[in-house]
Amino acid sequence: MTKIDQQTDILSGPSSILTLNRDVYAWHQLSAQDRLDALVDRPNGRALVRKLPTTDLFYLIKDLGVEATVDLLPLLSESQWQGFVDIDLWSQDHVEIGAFQQWMEAAALAGPETQTTLLRGLEDELLVTLLMANVTVHERDLDLDFVPDTSEVLTSPDGMFYLEFTEHADAVTTIDRLLRLLYADDPDRARRVLRASRWEILSDNEERCYQWRSNRMEELGYPSKERAVQIFSPIQILEFKQQIAKQLPTFPEANLVASDQPITSGLTLPDVHEVPYLAECLALVPEGPRRARIAQAFVHLTQTILVATDAELGNVDEHHEAGRRAFATVGLGLSYLSNNTHHIGAEILARVWLGHLFETGHTILTDIQRRATRLHSRAAGGRGYDLFDSPTTEVIAGLIRSTPLYFSGVVPTDTPRHRLFQSTTDVRNTRKWLAYGEAVVAFFEQVFGFSPTVFDGIEIDRIDEDFRQHIRFSTLLATGIAQSVLGNGFQLTPLTEAGLQRFVQLGFEGNSSPRRFRKSIRRALRDGWFSQPDVRSSKARLHLLRFVKTTLNRLEETLGSLPPGDYADPRFIGPVLLVEMPKD
C-alpha cells in the first residue's frame, strides 16, 4: 500500500469530508470552525488528529485562536507539539521565549496532562537553551545577601537551585511554571536540565538545537535557507517552454514532491480561485491522488517561500500571503508555458514540479521589475519625483516593490488596485504602459537633454511648496511649450505671473469655451519633434502623440476655459504648468 493510500484510509470514515480521494480541497470548502468540528467531534478524533500533518493543525489553531481550539489541544501528540514549537519558537537562529510562553499558556487551558505532553515533546537541550537565555542558574552556594535588589530570584521546587533574573523579569512566570511541571513529571530530568543550564555554553547549546530543529523542519516540508532561496533564481524560460512543448508527455508525475512528504488536508491553502486561470486549469485535474500531490506541492512551495523570504513562520498572515504568492506566480508561469490553453495547463500542473513553474513566473516578473526600476531612476524617482501621470505612475509604483504587483487600473475597472500578477495578460498590459513611459523619458532625454539632475537647476522655492507632489512630465512639457511660445526657447524655468498672462493671450485662439490651442503651435510641435527618422519610424511615436495630445488637452481644459483677456490666477493652475506663486 502506498503512502497516499495509507493516508486516505486513515482519513476515511463516516464523514466523507475527510476523504482525500474524494476531494483534497474539501477542507477549504468548509469554514475553519467546521474543520475543527470535523476533528474533535469524532470517536476516533485523537487517532485522526495525530495522523494529520503538523502544519495543517498549527495553522488551524493560529487561524481560529487558542481559546476556540482548546478541545483540539489534548488530542495532539508529543511530536506535533514539538513541531509547533519548532515553527513558532525560533527567530532566525535564536529562540524566543515569548512564543514558548504562548504555547505554555495554550496548553494550560487544556489541562496539566496537555502541558506535560508539550514538555515531553521537547529535547532537554532546548529547555536548557531557554533557561540560559533568560536566567542565571545557581546551586545552593548562592549567597542571597549579594543578589542586587534589581534582580528577582526563584527557588526550584526541591530547593536545590536558585534562578536569578537580571534582565528578563517578564519571563519569571513562564520559567516558574516550566520548573513546576518538569519536577512534577520527572524530577531527575528537571535537575539535569538545571545543572546543564548552569554549566553549558549557550551558543553551543543553541547551535545544536537549531541543527536538530532544521532537520525536523525539513521533515515538515520547510527546506534549508540555502535550498529555499534557489526558488528565486532566474531560469531560461524560453528554453524551458520549448522543452515542455516537446517532452511534456514524458515527464513523470512522481516528480511533484519528495515521496516521503505528508499528504496535506488542504488546510494551509488560501483560495486558489483568486487566480482564475490557475483555478480553471486545476478544475480539469481529476480528483484523487493526482490532485492530492498538486495540493501538497503547493504547501511545500508556500513553505519554501516563507523560508526564502525570512518570514515569521508562525505568523498566519505571512503564511497566507506566501500561499497567495505561490498561487499567483505559478499561475503566471503556467499561463506563459501553456499559452493560456487550459488542457495543456492542467497537464503541466500534473507533470511539472511547481518550483519550476514558480521560477518561470518569477523570471518574468524580475524582467519587468528591472525594466520598471530603470525607468523609475531615469524619471528622477530616486530624487523624490513622480513624473508620470496615471496609470503609468501606479504601474511603476507596483513593480518596484520587493514583491512586484500588477495595477489593475491599466484596463477599465470599477476598483483599480494593486495585486499580484496572475497571467501573461497582466504582463502584456503592464508592458504597454512601461513602453509608454520609456517613450516619454527617451523623448525628453533625446530632444531636450533631460536627466534627473535637471531639477537641480530649477528654483523650487519660486513655485508652490508641494512642487514634488504635483510636477509631472506633462508639466515639464507644457512649461517648455509655454516658454517657447513666449520666445524664450524650450526651458523648464517656471513662468512668471506676467509670463502666464502673456502665454494665455498668445497660445489660444477662438472665442468659444474652451478656447483651443493655436493650430500653428500644434503644427510646429508635430513638425519639429516628430520629423526625426528614429521617432517617426518607431512605435514610440504613437505613445508620444498620445502624451502630447493629453498635455495640450489639459492646457485647454485649465487655461482655455478663460475668456479672452481674463486674469489667469497662478494659484489655480495646479500641476499643469510651473508658475511662480505671487508674493503676498
pLDDT in tens, 529-538: 655 555 545 7
**Enclosing domain of residue 343:** 226-363
- Which residues partner with 90 through β-bridges? 95
Query: Are residue 14 and residue 100 in the same domain, yes or no?
Result: no
| Cβ neighbourhood burial of 107 (10 Å; 0-12, 13-18, 19+) | buried
What three-state secondary structure class fits 94? strand
Domain boundary (193, 219, 245) is at 219
Query: Are residue 565 and residue 462 in the same domain, yes or no?
Result: yes
Query: Are residue 209 and residue 292 in the same domain, yes or no?
Result: no
272-312 pLDDT per residue, tens = 788 999 999 998 988 777 777 888 888 889 999 999 999 99
Residue 389 belongs to a domain: no
Given CA atoms 560, 562, 564, 568 in this order, what sign does their dihedral have?
Answer: negative
Average pLDDT estimate for 459-463? 51
81-121 pLDDT per residue, tens = 999 999 999 888 888 888 898 999 999 999 989 999 999 99
Query: Are residue 567 and residue 486 in the same domain, yes or no?
Result: yes
Query: Are residue 215 and residue 230 in the same domain, yes or no?
Result: no
Pairwise CA distance, residues 422 & 30, whole Å: 25
Q: How many domains does the chain have?
A: 4
Query: Are residue 117 and residue 37 in the same domain, yes or no?
Result: no
Q: Provide, rounded to the nearest whole percent, the portion of the chain with pLDDT above 70.
A: 86
Query: Are residue 78 and residue 203 in the same domain, yes or no?
Result: yes
Residue 249 belongs to a domain: yes
Residue 414 belongs to a domain: no
Domain boundary (165, 191, 219) is at 219
Residue 396 belongs to a domain: no
Query: Are residue 338 and residue 190 in the same domain, yes or no?
Result: no
Query: Are residue 103 and residue 30 in the same domain, yes or no?
Result: no
Out of 73-87, 391-405, 491-505, 518-532, pick the least confident: 518-532
Query: Are residue 236 and residue 313 in the same domain, yes or no?
Result: yes
Residue 268 belongs to a domain: yes
What rounded mean pLDDT belongs to the chain? 84
What does pTM read for this prediction?
Answer: 0.83
Residue 159 belongs to a domain: no
Give the β-pairing of 418-420 and 508-509: unpaired
136-183 pLDDT per residue, tens = 898 887 777 777 777 788 889 998 998 888 777 778 888 999 999 999
Query: Are residue 60 and residue 41 in the same domain, yes or no?
Result: no
Residue 584 belongs to a domain: no
- Which residues partner with 579 through β-bridges? 495
- Closest C-alpha among 377, 331, 323 to residue 358: 331
Query: Are residue 292 and residue 189 in the same domain, yes or no?
Result: no
Over the Cα atoms of the chain, what is R_g?
33
Omega cis (within 30) before 570: no
Residue 418 belongs to a domain: no
